Amino acid sequence: MLLAIDAGNTNTTFAVFDGEEIVGEWRAGTNTARTADEYAVWLSSLMQLVNLKFANVDTAIIATVVPQGLFNLRTLCRRYFNCEPLVVGDPDVDIGIRILIEKERDVGADRLVNAVAAHHAYGGPAIILDFGTATTFDVIDENGNYHGGVIAPGINLSLEALHMAAAKLPRIAVERPTRVIGNDTQSAMLSGVYYGYVGLIEGLVARIKQDFGKPMKVVATGGLAAMFDDGTDEIDMIDRDLTMKGLLMIARRNPRTMN
């Protein structure tokens, strides 16, 4: 079985694959101070709930945008799963697509993994819209090659900035408002963020398509993708597990054996 780890700025997701099927998936807040032993205690309990043991896992792959946490994740794989993990971005890891930008190392591993999965599942050209800590728009061509993209502040980050910068604005959770015009501060904030992001999505998708010069499909992923699917016609399909599917594909492309 494969252990796939996606370490983002806010959350770190662990998934165990048995073939093509995810048989266990768990999230923890990203914390670079968390040790390999702490991860192991936490994962052991969760894996037992779905009748999995550490011994069931024989390979692992990591994609991280938080370099400070990589050492402990590597140690987790080596010490408790007895395998040397693949790390997306390492020179010896072949992701199967070309990165057609000037500074390849600047691209977040999660964005490249999403590109691999989107091309395999949906073809191209395509825009991959990922609702994470940042909201990212990534472009692949008909061959799956990565052409760059757009990075905007994430929705929850924007809400937190409003709360922190303005004394009278409360901290609220994002959801789709019932109407555009808010009749109190909270509903006005919610409408501004939600429909502001609908406008952001529609505007950027239109400009990206114009810039690229070809028809493109839009694949959305991330925790808030489903919420925005109802608010705009620009999203063609939603794939909640896009990143994990990409990690599985890359792992299969770079087979490794246990230590």
Q: How far apart are alpha carbons 136 and 128 in whole angstroms? A: 8
Number of other CB atoms surrounding residue 96 within 10 Å: 15
**Is 196 labelled a binding residue?**
no
Q: Which residue has the tokens 């993994």?
A: 113
On whether 110 is known to bind a ligand per the annotation, the reply is: yes
Note whether 50 and 24 are within 8 A (CB): yes
Burial profile 198-221: b = 16 or more Cβ within 10 angstroms, e = fewer: bebbeebbeebbeeeeeebebbbb
Q: Please tell me whether 78 is known to bind a ligand.
A: no
Q: Is 56 labelled as part of a ligand binding site? A: no
Is 231 annotated as a binding-site member? no
User: Annotated catalytic, 110?
Assistant: yes
**Which helix H or strand E contains 192, and what residues bound it?**
helix 185-212
- Residues linked to residue 22 through DSSP beta bridges, in sequence order: 17
Choosing from 37, 94, 106, 110, the catalytic residue is 110
Q: Is 96 annotated as a binding residue?
A: no
Q: Is 28 annotated as a binding residue?
A: no
136 marked as binding residue: no
In the chain the first and final C-alpha atoms are separated, in Å, by 15
138 is in an annotated binding site: no
Binding residues for ATP: 6-13, 133
Binding residues for K(+), by number, are: 130
Residues in binding site: 6-13, 108-111, 130, 133, 185
Annotated active-site positions, please?
Answer: 110
Binding site for substrate: residue ranges? Answer: 108-111, 185
